[in-house]
Amino acid sequence: MAETAKGPSPKQEITSGYCFFKGEIMPLADANVNITTHALNYGTGCFEGIRAYWNGEQGQLYMLKALEHYQRLLFSCRILKIQLPYTAEELVDWTAKVLAKNEYREDVYIRPLAFKGSQVIKVTLAGLRDELAIFTVPMGDYVSTSGLSAVVSNWQRISDNMIPSRAKVSGAYINPALATDAAVADGYDEAIMLSSDGQVSEASAANLFIVRNGALITTPITSDILEGITRRGIVQLAEHLQIPVEIRPIDRTELYIADEVFLAGTGAQIASITSIDRRPVGDGTLGAVTAKLQEVYYRAVRGMDDRYLDWVTPVYK
Ligand SMILES: Cc1ncc(COP(=O)(O)O)c(C=O)c1O
Protein backbone atom coordinates (compact mmCIF):
# COMPACT_ATOMS: atom_id res chain seq x y z
CA MET A 1 0.00 0.00 0.00
CA ALA A 2 1.46 3.35 -1.03
CA GLU A 3 1.68 5.98 1.67
CA THR A 4 1.55 9.77 1.90
CA ALA A 5 4.76 11.53 2.98
CA LYS A 6 6.18 10.37 6.30
CA GLY A 7 8.32 12.49 8.61
CA PRO A 8 8.46 15.59 10.78
CA SER A 9 6.03 18.50 10.67
CA PRO A 10 6.65 21.44 8.30
CA LYS A 11 6.87 23.63 11.44
CA GLN A 12 10.17 22.11 12.59
CA GLU A 13 13.25 24.40 12.71
CA ILE A 14 15.80 23.57 10.01
CA THR A 15 19.27 23.69 11.54
CA SER A 16 21.50 20.88 10.29
CA GLY A 17 22.76 19.12 7.19
CA TYR A 18 24.23 20.35 3.92
CA CYS A 19 22.87 22.78 1.36
CA PHE A 20 23.88 24.43 -1.91
CA PHE A 21 24.90 28.10 -1.67
CA LYS A 22 27.45 30.37 -3.43
CA GLY A 23 27.97 27.73 -6.11
CA GLU A 24 28.97 24.89 -3.80
CA ILE A 25 27.73 22.37 -1.27
CA MET A 26 28.31 23.62 2.28
CA PRO A 27 27.06 23.04 5.84
CA LEU A 28 23.68 24.71 6.33
CA ALA A 29 25.11 26.41 9.43
CA ASP A 30 27.53 28.38 7.18
CA ALA A 31 24.89 29.51 4.63
CA ASN A 32 23.87 32.89 6.02
CA VAL A 33 22.88 36.28 4.60
CA ASN A 34 23.28 39.81 5.95
CA ILE A 35 20.30 41.69 7.41
CA THR A 36 20.71 44.31 4.66
CA THR A 37 19.97 41.75 1.92
CA HIS A 38 17.44 43.11 -0.60
CA ALA A 39 15.29 39.94 -0.63
CA LEU A 40 14.99 39.93 3.16
CA ASN A 41 13.81 43.55 3.12
CA TYR A 42 11.52 43.50 0.07
CA GLY A 43 10.69 39.85 -0.63
CA THR A 44 12.53 40.01 -3.97
CA GLY A 45 13.10 36.31 -4.36
CA CYS A 46 11.37 33.33 -5.87
CA PHE A 47 11.39 29.73 -4.83
CA GLU A 48 10.23 26.19 -5.44
CA GLY A 49 8.94 23.38 -3.29
CA ILE A 50 9.92 19.93 -4.48
CA ARG A 51 9.45 16.60 -2.77
CA ALA A 52 11.65 13.53 -2.83
CA TYR A 53 10.06 10.25 -1.73
CA TRP A 54 11.97 7.33 -0.24
CA ASN A 55 11.33 3.86 -1.64
CA GLY A 56 12.57 1.47 1.06
CA GLU A 57 12.22 -1.69 -1.03
CA GLN A 58 14.39 -0.26 -3.81
CA GLY A 59 16.70 1.63 -1.42
CA GLN A 60 16.11 4.65 -3.65
CA LEU A 61 15.19 8.31 -3.10
CA TYR A 62 13.10 9.74 -5.95
CA MET A 63 12.86 13.47 -6.71
CA LEU A 64 9.35 14.19 -7.98
CA LYS A 65 9.05 16.20 -11.21
CA ALA A 66 12.29 17.99 -10.39
CA LEU A 67 12.96 19.22 -13.92
CA GLU A 68 9.47 20.78 -14.20
CA HIS A 69 10.02 22.57 -10.89
CA TYR A 70 13.33 24.02 -12.03
CA GLN A 71 11.82 25.07 -15.36
CA ARG A 72 9.17 26.96 -13.37
CA LEU A 73 11.87 28.47 -11.11
CA LEU A 74 13.62 29.81 -14.19
CA PHE A 75 10.30 31.31 -15.41
CA SER A 76 9.82 32.96 -11.99
CA CYS A 77 13.40 34.26 -12.25
CA ARG A 78 12.64 35.73 -15.68
CA ILE A 79 9.67 37.62 -14.25
CA LEU A 80 11.82 38.95 -11.37
CA LYS A 81 14.88 39.66 -13.56
CA ILE A 82 16.97 37.16 -11.65
CA GLN A 83 19.71 35.61 -13.75
CA LEU A 84 21.03 32.22 -12.69
CA PRO A 85 24.12 30.72 -14.29
CA TYR A 86 22.50 27.26 -14.41
CA THR A 87 20.15 25.33 -16.67
CA ALA A 88 17.18 23.47 -15.20
CA GLU A 89 19.04 20.19 -15.80
CA GLU A 90 22.11 21.45 -13.90
CA LEU A 91 19.90 22.49 -11.00
CA VAL A 92 18.39 18.99 -10.86
CA ASP A 93 21.95 17.57 -10.74
CA TRP A 94 22.98 19.92 -7.91
CA THR A 95 19.85 18.95 -5.99
CA ALA A 96 20.65 15.26 -6.34
CA LYS A 97 24.15 16.01 -5.01
CA VAL A 98 22.75 17.86 -1.97
CA LEU A 99 20.34 15.01 -1.20
CA ALA A 100 23.08 12.39 -1.57
CA LYS A 101 25.47 14.42 0.64
CA ASN A 102 22.79 14.41 3.36
CA GLU A 103 22.47 10.61 2.94
CA TYR A 104 18.68 10.75 3.27
CA ARG A 105 16.78 7.49 3.59
CA GLU A 106 13.39 9.15 4.19
CA ASP A 107 10.91 11.53 2.57
CA VAL A 108 12.40 14.99 2.00
CA TYR A 109 11.22 18.47 1.05
CA ILE A 110 13.53 20.54 -1.17
CA ARG A 111 13.54 24.33 -1.22
CA PRO A 112 15.42 26.09 -4.05
CA LEU A 113 15.49 29.87 -3.44
CA ALA A 114 16.71 32.47 -5.95
CA PHE A 115 16.93 36.01 -4.64
CA LYS A 116 18.28 39.53 -4.92
CA GLY A 117 21.36 39.39 -2.72
CA SER A 118 22.58 42.99 -3.02
CA GLN A 119 22.90 44.92 0.23
CA VAL A 120 21.18 48.10 -1.01
CA ILE A 121 18.11 50.16 -0.13
CA LYS A 122 16.81 50.94 -3.64
CA VAL A 123 13.48 49.25 -4.51
CA THR A 124 14.08 47.88 -7.99
CA LEU A 125 14.72 44.63 -9.81
CA ALA A 126 17.45 45.52 -12.29
CA GLY A 127 21.14 45.86 -11.57
CA LEU A 128 21.18 43.81 -8.36
CA ARG A 129 23.28 40.76 -7.51
CA ASP A 130 21.44 37.43 -7.75
CA GLU A 131 21.98 34.47 -5.44
CA LEU A 132 20.79 30.89 -5.37
CA ALA A 133 20.40 28.50 -2.45
CA ILE A 134 18.99 24.99 -2.25
CA PHE A 135 18.21 23.51 1.15
CA THR A 136 16.45 20.31 2.12
CA VAL A 137 14.63 18.93 5.14
CA PRO A 138 12.92 15.63 6.03
CA MET A 139 9.18 16.30 6.01
CA GLY A 140 5.92 14.43 6.27
CA ASP A 141 2.49 15.60 5.17
CA TYR A 142 2.05 19.37 4.93
CA VAL A 143 -1.66 19.01 5.75
CA SER A 144 -3.90 16.05 6.51
CA THR A 145 -4.88 14.36 3.26
CA SER A 146 -8.06 12.63 4.40
CA GLY A 147 -10.52 15.38 5.31
CA LEU A 148 -9.87 19.11 5.72
CA SER A 149 -12.31 21.84 6.66
CA ALA A 150 -11.98 24.93 4.48
CA VAL A 151 -13.36 28.44 4.46
CA VAL A 152 -13.73 30.77 1.52
CA SER A 153 -11.36 33.50 2.61
CA ASN A 154 -12.22 37.19 2.63
CA TRP A 155 -8.58 37.76 1.67
CA GLN A 156 -8.51 38.04 -2.12
CA ARG A 157 -5.93 36.15 -4.16
CA ILE A 158 -3.24 38.49 -5.56
CA SER A 159 -3.79 39.12 -9.24
CA ASP A 160 -1.32 38.85 -12.09
CA ASN A 161 -1.10 42.62 -12.45
CA MET A 162 -0.22 43.11 -8.74
CA ILE A 163 2.24 40.35 -7.94
CA PRO A 164 2.30 37.67 -10.64
CA SER A 165 0.59 34.54 -9.30
CA ARG A 166 2.28 32.27 -11.81
CA ALA A 167 5.68 33.20 -10.40
CA LYS A 168 6.44 31.73 -6.99
CA VAL A 169 7.49 35.08 -5.50
CA SER A 170 8.74 35.08 -1.89
CA GLY A 171 7.02 38.31 -0.82
CA ALA A 172 3.73 37.22 -2.37
CA TYR A 173 3.33 34.53 0.29
CA ILE A 174 2.11 37.17 2.72
CA ASN A 175 -1.18 36.79 0.81
CA PRO A 176 -1.78 33.07 1.57
CA ALA A 177 -0.22 33.51 5.03
CA LEU A 178 -2.90 36.08 5.93
CA ALA A 179 -5.63 33.84 4.51
CA THR A 180 -4.41 30.68 6.29
CA ASP A 181 -3.83 32.49 9.56
CA ALA A 182 -7.38 33.88 9.52
CA ALA A 183 -8.81 30.46 8.57
CA VAL A 184 -7.00 28.68 11.40
CA ALA A 185 -7.90 31.39 13.92
CA ASP A 186 -11.55 30.81 12.98
CA GLY A 187 -11.23 27.03 13.47
CA TYR A 188 -10.75 25.88 9.86
CA ASP A 189 -7.82 23.95 8.40
CA GLU A 190 -7.49 25.68 5.05
CA ALA A 191 -8.43 28.80 3.08
CA ILE A 192 -9.87 28.87 -0.43
CA MET A 193 -9.18 32.16 -2.17
CA LEU A 194 -11.27 34.01 -4.73
CA SER A 195 -9.76 36.20 -7.39
CA SER A 196 -10.73 39.84 -7.94
CA ASP A 197 -13.66 38.79 -10.18
CA GLY A 198 -15.18 36.83 -7.29
CA GLN A 199 -14.52 33.40 -8.79
CA VAL A 200 -12.55 30.60 -7.22
CA SER A 201 -8.80 30.91 -7.72
CA GLU A 202 -7.01 28.30 -5.58
CA ALA A 203 -6.25 27.34 -1.99
CA SER A 204 -3.57 28.97 0.16
CA ALA A 205 -0.66 26.91 -1.16
CA ALA A 206 -2.26 24.42 -3.51
CA ASN A 207 -4.45 24.28 -6.58
CA LEU A 208 -8.07 23.23 -6.23
CA PHE A 209 -10.11 20.55 -7.97
CA ILE A 210 -13.82 19.82 -7.64
CA VAL A 211 -15.72 16.74 -8.83
CA ARG A 212 -19.22 17.15 -10.30
CA ASN A 213 -21.13 14.28 -11.91
CA GLY A 214 -17.96 12.21 -12.22
CA ALA A 215 -15.97 14.96 -13.99
CA LEU A 216 -12.89 16.66 -12.58
CA ILE A 217 -12.93 20.45 -12.80
CA THR A 218 -10.09 22.87 -12.05
CA THR A 219 -9.60 26.58 -12.60
CA PRO A 220 -7.64 27.82 -15.65
CA ILE A 221 -4.15 29.31 -15.47
CA THR A 222 -5.73 32.73 -16.06
CA SER A 223 -7.57 32.52 -12.69
CA ASP A 224 -4.54 33.97 -10.84
CA ILE A 225 -3.28 30.54 -9.81
CA LEU A 226 0.23 29.23 -9.57
CA GLU A 227 0.56 26.97 -12.62
CA GLY A 228 0.81 23.85 -10.50
CA ILE A 229 2.92 20.88 -11.39
CA THR A 230 0.78 18.49 -9.33
CA ARG A 231 -2.29 19.95 -11.08
CA ARG A 232 -0.78 18.95 -14.45
CA GLY A 233 0.07 15.49 -13.11
CA ILE A 234 -3.49 14.97 -11.88
CA VAL A 235 -4.90 15.89 -15.28
CA GLN A 236 -2.63 13.20 -16.74
CA LEU A 237 -3.73 10.63 -14.14
CA ALA A 238 -7.38 11.47 -14.81
CA GLU A 239 -6.93 10.95 -18.54
CA HIS A 240 -5.42 7.50 -17.90
CA LEU A 241 -8.25 6.68 -15.49
CA GLN A 242 -10.76 7.92 -18.10
CA ILE A 243 -12.12 10.57 -15.76
CA PRO A 244 -13.29 13.58 -17.83
CA VAL A 245 -11.43 16.81 -17.05
CA GLU A 246 -12.77 20.34 -17.49
CA ILE A 247 -10.54 23.37 -17.10
CA ARG A 248 -12.83 26.35 -16.61
CA PRO A 249 -13.73 29.05 -14.09
CA ILE A 250 -15.41 27.79 -10.89
CA ASP A 251 -18.08 29.84 -9.10
CA ARG A 252 -18.09 30.02 -5.30
CA THR A 253 -21.47 28.27 -5.01
CA GLU A 254 -20.21 25.35 -7.09
CA LEU A 255 -18.06 24.56 -4.06
CA TYR A 256 -21.27 24.07 -2.04
CA ILE A 257 -22.83 21.61 -4.47
CA ALA A 258 -19.69 19.73 -5.60
CA ASP A 259 -19.57 15.97 -4.95
CA GLU A 260 -15.88 16.16 -3.96
CA VAL A 261 -13.23 18.85 -3.51
CA PHE A 262 -9.50 18.37 -3.07
CA LEU A 263 -6.22 20.27 -2.93
CA ALA A 264 -3.40 19.49 -5.32
CA GLY A 265 0.15 20.58 -4.63
CA THR A 266 3.63 19.31 -3.95
CA GLY A 267 3.27 20.09 -0.24
CA ALA A 268 -0.44 19.28 0.12
CA GLN A 269 -0.15 16.26 -2.23
CA ILE A 270 -3.78 15.21 -2.93
CA ALA A 271 -5.74 16.33 0.14
CA SER A 272 -9.48 15.88 0.45
CA ILE A 273 -11.64 18.81 1.62
CA THR A 274 -14.75 17.49 3.34
CA SER A 275 -16.36 20.74 4.46
CA ILE A 276 -16.44 24.29 3.12
CA ASP A 277 -17.90 27.22 5.08
CA ARG A 278 -19.22 24.60 7.57
CA ARG A 279 -21.22 22.85 4.82
CA PRO A 280 -20.36 19.21 4.14
CA VAL A 281 -18.85 18.51 0.72
CA GLY A 282 -20.88 15.65 -0.81
CA ASP A 283 -21.55 13.26 2.05
CA GLY A 284 -18.77 14.86 4.13
CA THR A 285 -16.27 12.03 3.70
CA LEU A 286 -13.32 11.29 1.40
CA GLY A 287 -14.83 10.85 -2.08
CA ALA A 288 -14.31 7.93 -4.47
CA VAL A 289 -12.64 9.92 -7.27
CA THR A 290 -10.25 11.63 -4.82
CA ALA A 291 -9.42 8.26 -3.22
CA LYS A 292 -8.69 6.68 -6.62
CA LEU A 293 -6.41 9.55 -7.65
CA GLN A 294 -4.61 9.37 -4.29
CA GLU A 295 -4.04 5.64 -4.71
CA VAL A 296 -2.35 6.05 -8.12
CA TYR A 297 -0.50 9.25 -7.13
CA TYR A 298 1.11 7.90 -3.96
CA ARG A 299 2.46 4.91 -5.88
CA ALA A 300 3.70 7.04 -8.78
CA VAL A 301 5.67 9.43 -6.55
CA ARG A 302 7.67 6.57 -5.01
CA GLY A 303 8.59 5.13 -8.42
CA MET A 304 6.20 2.19 -7.91
CA ASP A 305 4.24 2.61 -11.16
CA ASP A 306 6.08 1.98 -14.43
CA ARG A 307 3.67 4.26 -16.30
CA TYR A 308 4.93 7.27 -14.37
CA LEU A 309 8.65 6.58 -14.10
CA ASP A 310 9.27 9.79 -16.05
CA TRP A 311 7.83 11.70 -13.05
CA VAL A 312 10.74 10.69 -10.83
CA THR A 313 14.53 11.07 -10.85
CA PRO A 314 16.61 8.68 -8.71
CA VAL A 315 19.18 10.27 -6.39
CA TYR A 316 21.35 7.23 -5.70
CA LYS A 317 23.21 5.70 -8.66
C1 LIG B 1 0.08 29.28 -4.21
C2 LIG B 1 0.30 27.88 -4.65
N3 LIG B 1 -0.54 27.34 -5.53
C4 LIG B 1 -0.39 26.08 -5.99
C5 LIG B 1 0.65 25.28 -5.55
C6 LIG B 1 0.82 23.89 -6.08
O7 LIG B 1 1.86 23.85 -7.03
P8 LIG B 1 2.73 22.56 -7.27
O9 LIG B 1 1.78 21.46 -7.58
O10 LIG B 1 3.57 22.91 -8.45
O11 LIG B 1 3.49 22.31 -6.05
C12 LIG B 1 1.54 25.78 -4.61
C13 LIG B 1 2.62 24.94 -4.09
O14 LIG B 1 3.73 25.09 -4.29
C15 LIG B 1 1.38 27.13 -4.17
O16 LIG B 1 2.23 27.66 -3.29
Q: Domain ranges in the chain?
A: 18-138, 148-286
The per-residue pLDDT for 301 is: 98
Give residue 225 CA to ligand 1 midpoint distance, Å: 8
In whole angstroms, give the CA distance from residue 120 to residue 313. 39
* CB-count burial class (<10 Å; 0-12, 13-18, 19+) for 222: exposed
Q: Return the best residue to mutate from 111, 170, 207, 221 for the ligand 1 pocket (most ligand atoms within 8 A of CB).
A: 207
Alpha carbon of 206 to ligand 1 centroid (Å): 4
Stretches where the chain sits below pLDDT 70 are: 1
Any atom of ligand 1 within 6 Å of the Cβ of 138: no
What local confidence, expressed as pLDDT, does residue 237 receive? 98
Q: Describe the chain by its helix, strand, coil percentages, rounded to 5.
A: 30, 25, 45
- Asked whether the whole model's pTM tops 0.85, one would answer yes
Q: pLDDT tens for residues 227-266?
A: 999 999 999 999 999 999 999 999 999 999 999 999 999 9
How is domain 148-286 classified at the architecture level of CATH? Alpha-Beta Barrel (3.20)
Alpha-carbon gap, residue 61 to 308, rounded angstroms: 15
CATH number of 18-138: 3.30.470.10
Q: Which amino acid is at 232?
A: R
Q: Please report the pLDDT score of residue 140 as a whole number.
A: 95
Ligand 1 and 139: CB distance under 6 A: no
pLDDT of residue 2: 75
Q: Where are the beta strands (DSSP E) in the chain?
A: 18-21, 24-27, 45-47, 50-55, 60-64, 108-116, 130-138, 148-152, 190-194, 200-203, 207-212, 215-218, 245-247, 260-265, 269-276, 279-280, 312-314
The conformation of residue 248, written as its DSSP 8-state character, comes to -
Ligand 1 pocket check for 229: Cβ under 6 Å: yes
pLDDT of residue 1: 54
Q: At 108, give phi and psi (nearest 5°).
A: -135, 145
